[in-house]
C-alpha cells in the first residue's frame, strides 16, 4: 500500500530553487535512503514532506491525507491537513533537539500530552515501551547533559516514536556523532526497519543504505537523478554523477 507520495514538488528560497519537481512514492514498510551531495535538496525534501518548510508548489500525501500547494496562502482545511500529516510523520534531526530542562521521560511525553492531549499515565506507558525498544530504559530519569551523543539520538528516536507515526523521517541522524557512537544509532534504525516501519533516511552511511534499504535515491541539484535497489544503484550506478559521488564517499571513508 502506498503510504507517502510527492508529486511535482518544488521549493524555492527567494530566487534559489532547491527542489525542482520531485516525484516519489513510498510503500508501507519500505525503507528508502536518500543520498547526494550537500545542497542537493535532500534535507529540504524531508522538511517539505512534514511541512517544516512549506513547499512552493506541488502535492504531498501521507497515509491518505493530501495537501496540494498552489499558492503561498493556505486555506483552513489545508492547515488542518498539514497538522494531521505532522502527527503521522516522526522526524529525527542531525542535532538531537532534546529539551535540556526536562528528563528523558519528560522529553518523550511532552508532545503526546500537549499535542495529542493524551493522559499523562498513558503517555508514560507508551514512552517507556519505546525507551525499552531503543535500549534507554535505565536513563529514563536522566537529563540530556548526562547522556552521550549516541544516547541522546536514541532518546530522540524514541521521542519521535512515542507519537506513533506512520512514517519516520531521518535527516542525517549520525552526522553529529563520534564514529564510535554511530553503530548504536544505526542498530536501532535497523531494528525499526525489521519491525516494518516506513522510513525515509538521508544519510551517507553506505553500509546501512546497502544492507537495510529497499531502495536508494540519488539527488543532484534538486532533482532525483537516479534511483533503484541498493545492489544496483550502489554497486553498479548508471548515472556518471552517481558514480562520481559514490567514489568520493568511499575515498573519504578510506581516509578516516
How do residues 125-160 score in pLDDT, each as one tens digit? 999 999 999 999 999 999 999 999 999 999 999 999
Closest CA to 132 of 160, 115, 154: 154
Strand partners, 20: 10
Q: Output the nine-digit C-alpha cell for 54.
A: 512549506
How do residues 220-247 score in pLDDT, each as one tens digit? 999 999 999 999 999 999 999 999 999 9
Q: 248 versus 47: which is more confidently predicted?
A: 47
Please compute the mean of the pLDDT values over residues 88-97 and round it to a whole number: 93
User: Any idea of the CA torsion for 120, 122, 164, 132, to the nearest 10 degrees?
Assistant: 100
Amino acid at each position: 500500500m502506498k503510504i507517502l507520495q510527492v508529486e511535482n514538488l518544488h521549493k524555492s528560497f527567494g530566487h534559489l530553487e532547491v527542489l525542482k519537481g520531485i516525484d516519489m512514492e513510498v510503500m508501507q514498510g519500505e525503507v528508502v535512503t536518500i543520498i547526494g551531495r550537500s545542497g542537493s535538496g535532500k534535507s529540504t525534501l524531508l522538511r517539505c514532506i512534514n511541512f517544516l518548510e512549506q513547499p512552493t508548489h506541488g502535492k504531498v500525501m501521507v497515509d491518505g491525507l493530501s495537501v496540494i500547494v498552489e499558492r503561498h496562502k493556505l486555506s483552513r482545511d489545508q492547515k488542518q491537513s498539514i497538522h494531521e500529516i505532522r502527527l503521522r510523520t516522526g522526524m529525527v534531526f542531525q542535532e538531537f533537539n532534546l529539551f535540556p530542562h526536562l528528563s528523558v521521560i519528560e522529553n518523550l511525553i511532552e508532545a503526546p500530552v500537549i499535542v495529542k492531549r493524551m493522559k499523562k499515565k498513558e503517555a508514560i506507558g507508551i514512552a517507556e515501551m519505546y525507551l525499552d525498544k531503543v535500549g534507554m530504559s535505565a536513563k529514563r530519569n536522566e537529563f540530556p547533559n548526562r547522556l552521550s551523543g549516541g544516547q541522546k539520538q536514541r532518546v530522540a528516536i524514541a521521542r519521535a516514536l512515542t507519537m506513533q507515526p506512520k512514517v519516520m523521517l531521518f535527516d542525517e541522524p549520525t552526522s553529529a556523532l563520534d564514529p564510535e557512537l554511530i553503530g548504536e544509532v544505526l542498530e536501532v534504525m535497523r531494528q525499526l526497519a525489521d519491525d516494518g516501519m516506513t522510513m525515509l533516511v538521508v544519510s551517507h552511511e553506505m553500509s546501512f543504505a546497502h544492507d537495510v534499504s529497499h531502495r536508494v535515491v540519488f539527488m543532484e541539484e534538486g532533482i532525483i537523478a537516479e534511483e533503484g535497489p541498493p545492489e544496483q544503484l550502489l554497486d553498479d550506478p548508471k548515472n556518471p554523477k552517481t558514480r562520481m559521488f559514490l567514489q568520493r564517499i568511499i575515498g573519504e571513508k578510506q581516509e578516516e
